[in-house]
Amino acid sequence: MKKNIAILILLFCATLSQADPSPGTVGFQFLKTQVGARPAAMGGAFVAIPGDINAIQYNPAGIVTFNKRTASFSYLNDLLDINMGFVGFVQPKVGPGNLGIAVLFKDYGNLVKTDITGEEMGNFSSNSFSFAAAYAIEPYKNLYVGASGKYIRFGIDNYFADALVVDGGVMYTIPSQSLTFAAGVFNVGRAMSAFVETKDDLPTNVKVGFSKVLAHLPLLLSFNLYKYNDEDWYSALGGEFTLSPNLFLRLGYDQFGRNLRVNSSNDKFAGAAIGLGLLWNNIHIDYSFTTYGELGTLNRFSVAGQF
């Protein structure tokens, strides 16, 4: 059985390696934004973390461990006062697996409309939207498999583009070692419509990683390697310290932060993150702070509960 599981994971990873089209500029960039305060505080190194509702976005296989209905809401105060929200819900025991749904929304605010001479012609708005439905099963003991389908839409003024994409992921846990390996491919699909004539490519993303709870330290350590089809390979590292059964300290670093540097003295910490988590009456309250150096900082808040 273990041999068959190992072969399945290797075949899946081999498939992922083929899902990398030639580099180029892609659309629907909002799909690259990290979701949830806990994952963001760990630098986005979350592909191998099961049992968190944000797994709908990071690796749908991770929702298979839920045994109670769970809902969450996250808010991000992005750069330039851009606002972003994420709502997730997991319903366990739907057939042989668990069902999850999520809505991701990003509002870019009101912008000034001008003509080619620079004369103002009023305001216009821009926003992005994604709806995901995920399903995960455990076909073999300690092997989790999940997939999700997403409808995405990006609008600027009276122009819109939309697309249908799928995500897929696997996780394999070794409980005796508190160790989990994972891999996933995300945003595979094509645009259904274009803003004008040319349909944008999608930010297809490949991730592999692992997580481990250390034996003699109350620390969950997580590491990811990932690549978008229009980017280089990057790594992300995160840690979660259990300070008490109800209080958690998180630290993380996303190597992508190096691309955001503008040769300022404030850039040395670009990509670094820190956060706190509080468990109160079965409700998780999380906060994260991420720095992008001279470009600014991001604040995220999340609330999740089971019922």
SS (H, E, C) 229-296: CCCCEEEEEEEEEEEECCEEEEEEEEHHHHHHCCCCHHHHHCCEEEEEEEEECCEEEEEEEEECHHHC
Q: Is residue 152 included in any domain, yes or no?
A: yes
Res. 261 pLDDT band, cuts 50 70 90? low
Q: Distance between CA atoms of 109 and 159, rounded to whole angstroms?
A: 15
Q: Can you read off the two tokens belonging to residue 283?
A: 């409700």
- Mean pLDDT is lowest, of 84-98, 147-161, 264-278, for 264-278
φ, ψ (nearest 5 deg) of residue 40: -65, -40
Sorted by sequence, the CB contacts under 8 Å of residue 49 that are 6+ apart come out as 39, 42, 55, 58, 59, 62, 180, 211, 220, 222
Q: Does residue 260 belong to any structural domain of this protein?
A: no
- Collapsed DSSP state (helix, strand, coil) of residue 44: coil
Q: What mean pLDDT do residues 236-258 have?
A: 95
Q: 20: closest CA among 257, 255, 231, 234?
A: 231
For the chain, the domain total comes to: 1
Residue 245 lies in a domain: no
Angle at alpha carbon of residue 44, lines to 39 and 49, rounded to 5°: 60
Q: How confident is the model at residue 268 (pLDDT cuts 50, 70, 90)?
A: confident
Residue 5 has, within 13 A of its CA and on its CB side, a CA count of: 17
Mean pLDDT value across residues 124-141: 94
% of the chain with per-residue pLDDT over 70: 90
The answer to whether residue 69 sits within a structural domain is: yes
Q: 148 lies in a domain?
A: yes
Give me the domain span that covers residue 178.
2-239
Residue 129 lies in a domain: yes
> Is residue 162 a part of any domain in this protein?
yes
For residue 24, name the pLDDT band (cuts at 50, 70, 90). very low
In a domain, 71, yes or no: yes
Question: Which phi-psi region, left, alpha or beta, contains residue 216 (left: φ > 0; alpha: ψ -120 to 50)?
Answer: alpha
Single-letter code of the amino acid located at 259: N
pLDDT over 90 for what percent of the chain? 64
Tell me the pTM. Answer: 0.87
Alpha-carbon distances of 290 from 115, 271, 279, rounded to whole Å = 37, 7, 22
- pLDDT for 262 equals 61
Residue 78: pLDDT over 70: yes
Q: Is the pLDDT of residue 18 over 50?
A: no
State the chain's maximal CA–CA distance in angstroms. 69
| pLDDT at residue 179, rounded to an integer | 97
